[in-house]
Chain A
Amino acid sequence: MAVETTHMRKFLNEPAKVVKESLAGLAAAHPDLLRYDAAAQIIVRRDAPRKGKVALISGGGSGHEPLHGGFVGHGMLDAACPGEVFTSPVPAQMLAATKAVDGGAGVVHIVKNYTGDVLNFKLAAEDAADEGIKVTSVVIDDDVAVQDSLYTAGRRGVGATVLAEKIAGAAAESGADLTRVTDAVKRVNDRARSFGVALSSCVPPASGKAIFDLPEGQVELGIGIHGEPGRKRATLGSASEIVDVMVEAVISDLKPRNGAKVLAFVNGMGGTPLLELYLLYGEIDKKLRAAGVEPVRNLVGSYITSLEMAGSSLTVLELDEELIKLWDAPVHTPALRWGV
């Protein structure tokens, strides 16, 4: 696979400082919601720790903004641990975040299923347990493009992460205990599936080069969120044809009951405008109804991105009355806000 030597056009001071400077900017923009602890490299909810409330933290490589720092605030995360671009954070960050947000009711770690994230969160959870903090961990693995078998690292965690953070965050805000908040994350992960497609590579700031070279007229099917290529390439068809592939991949794996109420999350990978995302949503809405499910809630926008990659992912979450209630509950974070 050739690596393009495309020159990047990015707003940077020093490539090595892009994450820290971006986090400082996030804190400068939202001082009412969160603060940036530069020494620990974590984003913490302004009013943390909240006594008696179960706290939620997540983290992962940077380059997926607004995930995770943009979801810190009322009704969602209590802290986020951003690693370098596409590199998992280190255990010291998760330990510092866990200590900063623990209000005595325990802390839930929401971990996307990537080897690095899983290993670093595991070491951090052990350290937190040594310090007497109750920690539960849930690994999100909703990407149907990866076969879950002995021959892979398992399914990747993608779009369901955003939905799990919102829904479990609402449960924690309502006073649910550690077991119930942990269960909320697990339920979202169990009942959500995702599939992504890319129309271009992204350009990590450190290397300044595109990760892969996608010839004109081609589309990568089954991409992740780190610029890693998908499982196969296909000829770029119409939006309607691409949506057929996405809906079929997600629905055939999720196997929702007939007439199920679902949340359809049409996510942009960073380089695809809302103009196209809404076009995709229109197609997806029709095709989901044709597949026998009813999209009663949706989220359309770029919420779990891969730098400036052009592309989109579809996540379908099968809902029940409680999940709908938790989805609708007030949220106030930099990237998601309603009901407040």
Chain B
Amino acid sequence: MDAATITSWMHRIDLAMREEKDHLVQLDAAIGDGDHGTNMTRGFEAVVQALDADAGSSPGKLLILAGRTLVSTVGGASGPLWGSALRSGGRVLGDQPTFDGGALVNVLAAALASIKDLGTASVGDKTMVDALEPAVDALRERLAAGATTADALEAAAQAADAGMRSTITLQARKGRASYLGERSIGHQDPGATSTALIVRALQRAVTPAS
């Protein structure tokens, strides 16, 4: 995997956000304020533009640029959270021109740690962490068990999906949905949903045939 993998990942996120924009808006309207789809679309459109204007950088540098772009364009909680996550992930890669599955685990683990630290959220709070943490765990475990990166990423994407669906029955403890108390139960978390899209986009970037 190399810089092209990162660029492809961001392009696929941009595409997924545009396709799912209305769905994310709908999910957010139910327990938030209905802007999640709009914000994520605006952010990743800007990321793709920034990356296309910066050909030739290392994968780590591209992730840092993507993170900086999200912080400066998204607003809301998602901007700082995903922005810090990608910057942390990018710093793990440093200047190396290529990276393997093990390094990818470290990138995603750093991204997760950054989100949990800034957002002070844990699994079960009905947030993006509910999708991301199981994905990182699945990726790490499958690679440790000898799976190919492609297979491990498929497992990660499925784990993110399952984590996303697990938020339906949870009561929100963080973010704007927490204001609803018990009324947040029964709704899928929009942040966990966009997170599952981001993990799926990574899987597709690494295994374009799927």
Contact = CB atoms under 8 A, between A and B. Distances in A.
Interface in B141-198: 171, 173-176, 178-181, 183, 187
A90 B79 contact: yes
B144 to A, nearest CB: 33
Interface in A80-97: 83-92
Contacts of B39: 84, 87
Interface stretch (B3-11, B22-30, B57-65, B102-110): B22-30
Contacts of A153: 174-176, 178-179
A314 B184 CA distance: 25
Nearest to B127: A115
B195 to A, nearest CB: 16
B134 interface: no
A207 B75 contact: no
Contacts of A224: 176, 179
Given A123-B80, A231-B179, A90 B74 contact: yes
3 nearest A-B pairs in the assembled complex, by CB-CB distance: A152-B178, A119-B80, A116-B76
Contacts, number: 115
Interface of B: 25-26, 29-35, 38-39, 42, 71-81, 118-119, 171, 173-176, 178-181, 183, 187
A228 B77 contact: no
A211 B79 contact: no
20 contacts: A1-B30, A3-B26, A3-B30, A61-B75, A85-B35, A88-B75, A88-B77, A90-B73, A90-B75, A91-B71, A115-B77, A115-B119, A119-B81, A120-B75, A120-B80, A147-B181, A150-B173, A212-B29, A228-B31, A231-B179
Contacts of A229: 180, 183
Nearest to A203: B34
Interface in A183-240: 204, 206-207, 209, 211-212, 224, 226-229, 231-232
A156 interface: yes
Contact of A91 (B42, B72, B175, B178): B72
A96 to B, nearest CB: 11
A151 interface: yes
Nearest to B78: A116
Contacts of B79: 88, 90, 116, 119-120
Contact of A87 (B76, B171, B187): B76
A204 B34 CA distance: 8
**Chain A interface helix/strand/loop/mixed:** loop
Interface string A228-268: 11011000000000000000000000000000000000000
A143 to B, nearest CB: 8
A207 B30 CA distance: 13
B92 to A, nearest CB: 20
A294 to B, nearest CB: 32
A225 B177 CA distance: 13
Contacts of B181: 147, 152, 231
A60 to B, nearest CB: 10
A89 B72 CA distance: 9
B179 A152 contact: yes
B73 A228 contact: no
Contact of A116 (B77, B171, B187): B77
A138 interface: no
Contact of A228 (B74, B78, B171, B179): B179
B171 A204 contact: no
A220 to B, nearest CB: 11
Contacts of A115: 77, 119, 174-176
Interface string A146-159: 11001111001000
Contacts of A226: 32-33, 176
Given A115-B176, A119-B118, A120-B75, 15 more contacts: A84-B42, A88-B77, A116-B78, A119-B81, A119-B119, A146-B178, A147-B181, A150-B173, A152-B179, A152-B181, A204-B35, A207-B25, A229-B180, A231-B179, A231-B181
Contacts of A227: 33-34
A89 B174 CA distance: 20
Contacts of B73: 90
A116 B179 contact: no
A228 B180 contact: yes
